[in-house]
Amino acid sequence: MKLKIAIQKSGRLHEDSIKLLKECGIDINNGVNKLKTEATNFPLEVFFLRDDDIPQYIEDGVADIGVVGENVVLEKKKQVRVVEKLGFGKCRLSMAVPKAMDYNNVKDLHNLKIATSYPVILGDFLKNNGVTADIHEISGSVEIAPGIGLAAAICDLVSSGSTLFMNGLKEVETVLKSEAVLIANEGLQEAQQLLLQKLLFRIQAVRKAKNNKYILLNAPNNNLKEIISLLPGMKSPTVLPLAEEGWSSVHSVLNENDFWDIIESLKAAGAQGILVVPIEKMVI
């Protein structure tokens, strides 16, 4: 019995999807131009597909689980379960108009011709905002539509905004924020469900580890209490005596986001020799 996972064959999510499996300790033979492959050390079969097709394959049960952008999940409206956010493939679906256009709010889109590859999401967005517009669906190179007179505005995926800028456009509304997610068939057999739990456990350990750092520092014993109070840790920090009298070594785990604030407070409290090292896996 194997778990079948669908990932993007090539494109922006391909490498990060493979990397995620690798970080979960799953080795796959990643041959080019292959339609599918198998993991050597986990009961996993990997299908390489176009991202647009993945929700349908999952709904039909051809694959059990898959990795796609939330944007694709919402656009395709298939019966699939979103299991976990994966933290890569971050982008937003935005409205953009020519730089010279005098844009104040969403009502300015009224009656405009808007080019997009996401007619369903855009349709919902316009409806929610009480705007009627002419949605023109195109499958690629949406950003050139205004320049060639095909549409007055666009709704497209953006990450940095530089593509829009180069095409003389400005971003005016965020329709959706998206990242890659793990989706699953809604009626998985028990065996597949168990394998999914196993995989999910590994994914969560990898993702938690990424958001955290292991910190080691030397603390003067007379200020140990204050220094420990600054470190949240998983339970409480580990404290070991140093060979030098009056000093201790303190080990703990820090959230990446709190890092700089805490470092400053630690130094102010007398901590020295502060080391921050990455964590590979983290199981709580």
75 binds, among ligand ATP, Zn ion, none (CB under 5 to 8 A by kind): none
Cα–Cα distance list, 133 to 38, 77, 225, 238, 275 (Å): 47, 21, 63, 61, 56
Does the protein bind ligand ATP through residue 12 (CB under 6 A)? yes
Q: Which of 15, 16, 45, 52 binds Zn ion (CB under 5 A)?
A: 52
Q: Is residue 89 a contact point for ligand ATP (CB under 6 A)?
A: yes
Q: CA 91 from chain center: how many Å?
A: 9
Q: Pairing between strand 212-220 and 169-178?
A: unpaired
At a CB cut-off of 8 Å and minimum separation 6, what does 137 contact? 115, 116, 117, 119
CB 137, min distance to ligand ATP, A: 14
Residue facing ligand ATP at closest CB distance:
69
Q: Does 8 bind ligand ATP (CB under 6 A)?
A: yes
258 binds, among ligand ATP, Zn ion, none (CB under 5 to 8 A by kind): none
Rg (CA), the chain: 24
- One residue of 55, 66, 69, 146 binding ligand ATP per CB under 6 A: 69
Q: How many residues bind ligand ATP (CB under 6 A)?
A: 16
Nearest to 57 by CA among 40, 35, 79: 79
| Binding residues among 141-180 for ligand ATP as defined by CB under 6 A | 157-159, 178
Work out whether 66 is an interface residue with ligand ATP (CB under 6 A): no
- If binding is defined by CB under 6 A, does position 51 make contact with ligand ATP? yes
| Residue 259, SS3 per DSSP | helix
> 158, 32 in Cβ contact below 8 A?
no
Residue with tokens 């994966």: 86
Establish if 156 lies at the interface with Zn ion (CB under 5 A).
no
Judged by DSSP in three states, 96 sits in strand
Q: What is the binding site for Zn ion (CB under 5 A)?
A: 51-52
Q: Which residues bind ligand ATP (CB under 6 A)?
A: 8, 11-13, 50-52, 69, 71-72, 89, 91, 157-159, 178
